[in-house]
């Protein structure tokens, strides 16, 4: 009876080690460049930060100005020039979902990275200005959708306009920036 339990534990341990080691071995076999690994980690951190902010806007998580600001700062520190620099040289390669169009349309890619940073700065500032509650000044109001959303909307300069709009609107425009960048510069089947 004890032998069966020991065999079961050893089997479970072996399977656990194999499950943990497999992604590492696959990455090593593919020779994933460090910049690809770093940008994937940064993208995941930004996605988690965006989910945290979204949960506060939806009310599924209580508003916490420190967490909100921390999430915005995560996005800010991983976007802009920091994000662009991780795509220097050849953007494509093993383990990467980056499109070669990043290299040919670098100015647009870098602009989207800077826009992302500008929206994150606006969100961080909004947390500073609203330490207690996610109040009406942070929420979108009637007419905000016409400001920067859709093909007929007034175009937004994120560096200049993001700080003057409600945080919720800046957040939505930030998500649109992510979506636009992924649609243009990310290859799904790689």
On the question of pLDDT at 146 being above 60, the answer is no
- Across 98-158, the runs of DSSP E, i.e. the strands, are none
CA–CA gap between residue 103 and residue 71 (Å, rounded): 29
pLDDT digits (tens, 9 = 90+) for 59-95: 999 999 999 999 999 999 999 999 999 999 878 888 8
Which range has the worst mean pLDDT, 30-34, 54-58, 92-96, 178-182? 30-34
pLDDT digits (tens, 9 = 90+) for 116-126: 999 999 999 99
Highest mean pLDDT (candidates 14-28, 118-132, 150-164): 118-132
* Global pTM value: 0.76
Q: Is 62 left (phi over 0), alpha (psi -120 to 50) or beta?
A: beta
Confidence of residue 13 (pLDDT cuts 50, 70, 90): very low
Tokens 């942070």 identify what position? 138
For residue 98, the SS3 value is strand
Mean pLDDT, the chain, integer = 82
CA–CA gap between residue 48 and residue 55 (Å, rounded): 11
pLDDT at 152 (0 to 100): 39
């Amino acid at each position: 009876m004890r032998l069966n339990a020991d065999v079961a534990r050893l089997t479970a341990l072996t399977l656990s080690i194999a499950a943990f080691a497999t992604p590492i071995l696959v990455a090593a076999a593919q020779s994933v460049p460090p910049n690809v690994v770093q940008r994937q980690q940064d993208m995941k951190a930004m996605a988690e930060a965006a989910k945290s902010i979204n949960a506060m806007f939806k009310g599924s998580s209580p508003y916490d100005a420190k967490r909100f600001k921390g999430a915005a700062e995560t996005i800010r520190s991983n976007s802009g020039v920091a994000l662009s620099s991780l795509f220097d040289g050849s953007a494509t390669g093993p383990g990467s979902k980056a499109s070669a169009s990043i290299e040919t349309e670098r100015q647009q890619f870098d602009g989207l990275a800077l826009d992302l940073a500008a929206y994150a700065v606006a969100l961080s500032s909004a947390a500073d200005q609203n330490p207690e509650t996610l109040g009406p000044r942070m929420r979108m109001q009637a007419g905000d959708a016409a400001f920067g959303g859709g093909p007929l909307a007034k175009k937004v300069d994120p560096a200049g306009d993001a700080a003057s709009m409600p945080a919720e609107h800046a957040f939505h425009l930030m998500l649109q920036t992510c979506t636009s960048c992924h649609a243009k510069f990310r290859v799904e089947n790689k």
